[in-house]
């Protein structure tokens, strides 16, 4: 089996009757997750700041036979997040699954003493505040629905440092802390919360980088390659599924042994 040959067909209806909300789902990992959940029978709300990209993704999912909804969301704005969750519940009938994936890398690569304050605020607002706002409203709906599952997209930098990326590293560490806390608070209320930590993933954005930079990133992974969005989506789908029914508050690396060095 090749690295991109994933056993989606084996679980063709595991999410049937459930509604999923995926933020940052217009491209990259988020889009791969939306495709995977839709392939498993879920109705999927594709939530993204890029409204046109979200509509394109929904058109693709619907063409494949899925029930899907495009929702514009700015995860830095709690009112926007609340509206996106409400729109999902109204249009698709409840909320049972959520993947909080929206995030930005932040500009530049500079040490903390030179890191721009506005850059720090922007990254934390998107990558950490956005996850908190999303869970805040998602959890309310899931408890009302009788339970659910959430996956927060952290990173290998959720437990590792990386020079020049103070805001991103701090935010992704924070996502793991939020995940663990939410898992404790909601386990007895029927909601499981876990996190995924991707390594460097071969997305369209990364493919545009200089060849030497790409080779340097590959070298960081003992597996000898970058990961694929589909590989991250498969782990995410497992965590959302009933197959992971006793998995709470965990952090799962999809990193080609990056963090094992």
DSSP 59-112: HHHHHTT--EEEEE--TT-HHHHHHHHHHHHHHHT---EEEE------S----G
Single pTM value for the model: 0.94
Banded pLDDT at 261 (limits 50, 70, 90): confident
Domain extents in the chain:
13-260
Catalytic-residue membership of 186: no
The number of beta carbons lying within 10 Å of the beta carbon of residue 8 is 16
Summarised one tens digit per residue, pLDDT across range 42-98 is 999 999 999 999 999 999 999 999 999 999 999 999 999 999 999 999 999 999 999
In this predicted structure, the answer to whether residue 6 has a pLDDT above a threshold of 50 is no
Q: What is the pLDDT of residue 72?
A: 98
pLDDT grade for 4, boundaries at 50, 70 and 90: very low
**Which residues 6+ apart lie within 8 Å of 6 measured at CB?**
36, 230, 231, 234
Question: Taking a C-beta distance cutoff of 8 angstroms, is the pair 126, 168 a contact?
Answer: no
Average pLDDT estimate for 251-259: 97
Tokens of 85: 């969750």
The residue from 133, 168, 186, 258 that is catalytic is 168
User: Sorting pLDDT into bands at 50, 70 and 90, what band is 5?
Assistant: very low
C-alpha to C-alpha distances, 19 to 23, 52, 116, 150, 207, nearest whole angstrom: 13, 22, 39, 12, 32
Spatial separation of the C-alpha atoms in residues 106 and 11, rounded to whole Å: 36
Q: Could you say which DSSP state residue 21 is in? A: E
Q: Report the topology of domain 13-260.
A: Rossmann fold (3.40.50)
């Amino acid at each position: 089996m090749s690295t991109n040959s994933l056993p989606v067909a084996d679980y063709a209806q595991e999410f049937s009757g459930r509604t999923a909300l995926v933020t940052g789902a217009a491209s990259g990992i988020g889009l791969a997750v939306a495709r995977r959940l839709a392939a498993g029978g879920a109705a999927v709300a594709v939530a993204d700041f890029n409204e046109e990209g979200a509509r394109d993704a929904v058109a693709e999912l619907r063409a494949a036979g899925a029930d899907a909804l495009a929702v514009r969301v700015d995860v830095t704005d709690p009112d926007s997040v609340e509206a996106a969750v409400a729109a999902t519940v109204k249009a698709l009938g409840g909320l049972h699954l959520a993947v909080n994936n929206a995030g930005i890398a932040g500009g530049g690569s500079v040490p903390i003493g030179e890191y721009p304050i506005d850059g720090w605020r922007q990254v934390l607002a998107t990558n950490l505040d956005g996850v908190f706002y999303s869970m805040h409203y998602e959890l309310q709906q899931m408890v009302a629905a009788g339970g659910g599952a959430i996956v927060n997209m952290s990173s290998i930098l959720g437990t590792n440092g990386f020079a020049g990326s103070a805001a991103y590293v701090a935010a992704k560490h924070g996502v793991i802390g939020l995940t663990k806390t939410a898992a404790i608070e909601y386990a007895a209320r029927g909601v499981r919360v876990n996190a995924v930590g991707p390594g460097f993933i071969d997305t369209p954005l990364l493919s545009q980088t200089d060849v030497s930079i790409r080779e340097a990133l590959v070298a960081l992974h003992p597996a000898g390659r970058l990961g694929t969005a589909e590989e991250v989506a498969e782990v995410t789908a497992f965590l959302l599924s009933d197959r992971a029914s006793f998995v709470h508050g965990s952090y799962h690396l999809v990193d080609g042994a990056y963090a094992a060095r």
